[in-house]
Amino acid sequence: MLPKKASENKTPHLPEDYDTKISSVLPFYTFFHQETINLVKSLPSPPKVWMDTGCGTGSLVSKAIGQFSNTRFLMLDPSEGMLEQAREKLASCSTGRLDFLKASPTQEFSQELDESPDVITAIQCHHYLDRDNRARAVRKCYELLKDGGVLITFENVSPLTEEGISVGKRYWGEFQSRHGRTDEEIEVHLERFGTEYFPITIEEHLELLRKTGFRTVEMFWYSYMQAGFYCIK
């Protein structure tokens, strides 16, 4: 596991291993990216500036950049190692369309931008935060967006009841088993629930996004113990 530093992502996977490991851990992970892209395509106009916070190794932007020819992408992650992997993955893309921001968690981001984003994506990153810092991260996204801008986020979510959490963990564990993970690996991963990542319920997500000030808040994806939301400033 990576050291627990503010500059490092809290995923248990090393940056260089992330892409090969994540699909055996998260059901439908590649669909999170495709559905995010499909949703952005459904907006009234393509984004001029798209910020991907918690960008990891750059997988989402590597898929999106060829489909949004006039969009500039801003890459942000708390881990310099992840940003380095993203730089390598996107090395063949036009440098004029990519800006790699200084490594920072969303809630602590303070770099001045020359133009506010039309879209901010946060895919599987804010559930590592406690409630106060999660609220700060959502607030930061709201503040950074243009009026009418859209935040799209996927997160691990918590079922509503303790029994639901137990069922959900077994359900998720069965997925991982079918994808080649050992019983020990599955147990270690599921023990991180509520200790290293901190899911909240769908209802709590919707309430937080509304309280932050977004005028429109919707859920557009739900599977296993993950959900996707979009909201408009």
What CATH number is associated with residue 179? 3.40.50.150
Q: Does residue 4 belong to any structural domain of this protein?
A: no
- CA-closest candidate to residue 78, choices 7, 4, 16: 7
What integer pLDDT is reported at residue 12 of this predicted model? 47
Q: Does residue 7 belong to any structural domain of this protein?
A: no
Total domain count for the chain? 1
- CA-closest candidate to residue 94, choices 66, 125, 128: 66
Tokens (6 digits) for 176:
């991982």
Q: Does residue 87 belong to any structural domain of this protein?
A: yes
Q: Does residue 129 belong to any structural domain of this protein?
A: yes
What integer pLDDT is reported at residue 19 of this predicted model? 65
Q: Does residue 3 belong to any structural domain of this protein?
A: no
State which residues form the domain around 46: 15-232
For helices 183-191 and 162-178, the axis angle rounded to 10 degrees is: 140
Is there a contact between 226 and 27 (Cβ–Cβ < 8 Å)?
Answer: yes
Contacts of 225 (CB under 8 A, 6+ apart): 156, 157, 158, 159, 168, 169, 171, 172, 199
Is there a contact between 126 and 101 (Cβ–Cβ < 8 Å)?
Answer: no
Q: Does residue 9 belong to any structural domain of this protein?
A: no
At CA 230, angle to CA 228 and CA 231, rounded to 5?
150
pTM: 0.90
What integer pLDDT is reported at residue 22 of this predicted model? 85
Q: Does residue 36 belong to any structural domain of this protein?
A: yes
- CA-closest candidate to residue 53, choices 155, 130, 196: 155
What integer pLDDT is reported at residue 94 of this predicted model? 77
Q: Which residues of the chain have pLDDT under 70?
A: 1-19
Q: Does residue 8 belong to any structural domain of this protein?
A: no
What integer pLDDT is reported at residue 17 of this predicted model? 54
